[in-house]
Amino acid sequence: MSDIDVTITPSNTIDVEFSGTAGLHTVSNVAYDATTWNGAEAIAPSKNAVRDKVETMDTAIGLNTAKDTNVSTSLSLGTINATTVSITSDGGADDVTLAEADTTNAGLLGSDKWDEIVANSLKATNATHTGDVTGATALTIGVDKVLVTHINWGVAATQVSAVDLVIADAGVIITATEVEGALQENRTAINLNTDKVTNATLFKTGDSSFTDDDTEQTFNDAFCTATSLVVVSITGATPAGIWSVVSAAGSFTITSSSAESTDITFDYYITKAV
């Protein structure tokens, strides 16, 4: 081994000189400095100086002092097709690709699904039908299915009888539950109305006479009520006064504005209030 000369100076440096080697090699305890350390190839740092710098770096890493993760990134659209959209970062090519949604995962609305939504909004499509009604966009109803539930305007065996068509009676007006029976009930009701049979309990006619020398007379008729409408039609001489009629229970009263000088015959019509 070569001889070693050690020199200690007041500047915290230890000069070590190896005999038989070229140049002087020094160990320095000076703290790291970017200017003074740069290019100092013949001076070695002490363990203490290195340790101090490592601790400073470790603290900076823990605190993320440089904030390198916050560097601005420029995003733009990359490749776009019917089912995916790609995003590029700082000029990269399709760095991130967003996929189309499916029944399991959320994602983009694909062009095919977009077309289906538009078509449905325009009512341009229908789900494919099978059975009595077939087709998708244009639907077809089987003719034989119509015949069993609707009137067919065909002839002979292809027609549906009215007795086969069931109807509902929401107003509780008829008793029949099919069209033919309801038509029969309606025809009977019309015939009864023509013969005035249904008006027998609502309307009555009669005749009487207003005697002379009176201005008021009451005529009994059990059909009359206090709410009945009584109409008088003169059939005899013209009255001397103006007549008014008031109905009551079991009778009606005629009042003349002047005493009548002769008997005056009349017909009357009584209608019960409904």
What distance in Å separates the CA atoms of residue 86 and residue 89, rounded to the nearest whole number? 10
Check: CB of residue 180 under 8 Å from CB of residue 163: yes
Per-residue pLDDT tens digits for 108-153: 888 988 888 887 777 666 777 787 778 776 777 765 554 444 455 5
Q: What angle do CA 81, 83, 89 make, to 5 degrees?
A: 65
What distance in Å separates the CA atoms of residue 25 and residue 32, rounded to the nearest whole number? 18
Residue 251: band (very low, low, confident or very high) from pLDDT cuts 50, 70, 90: very high
Check: CB of residue 221 under 8 Å from CB of residue 232: no
Q: What is the pTM assigned to this prediction?
A: 0.31
Check: CB of residue 237 under 8 Å from CB of residue 261: no
- 187: enclosing H helix or E strand: helix 179-194
Q: Which strands, in side-by-side order, build the sheet including 43-45? A: 4-8, 13-18, 25-28, 43-45
Which is higher by pLDDT, 21 or 235? 235
Across the chain, mean pLDDT equals: 78
pLDDT of residue 21: 46
pLDDT of residue 123: 67
pLDDT of residue 270: 93
pLDDT at 234 over 50: yes
pLDDT of residue 215: 93
What distance in Å separates the CA atoms of residue 182 and residue 172, rounded to the nearest whole number? 12
pLDDT of residue 26: 80
Which is higher by pLDDT, 55 or 181? 55
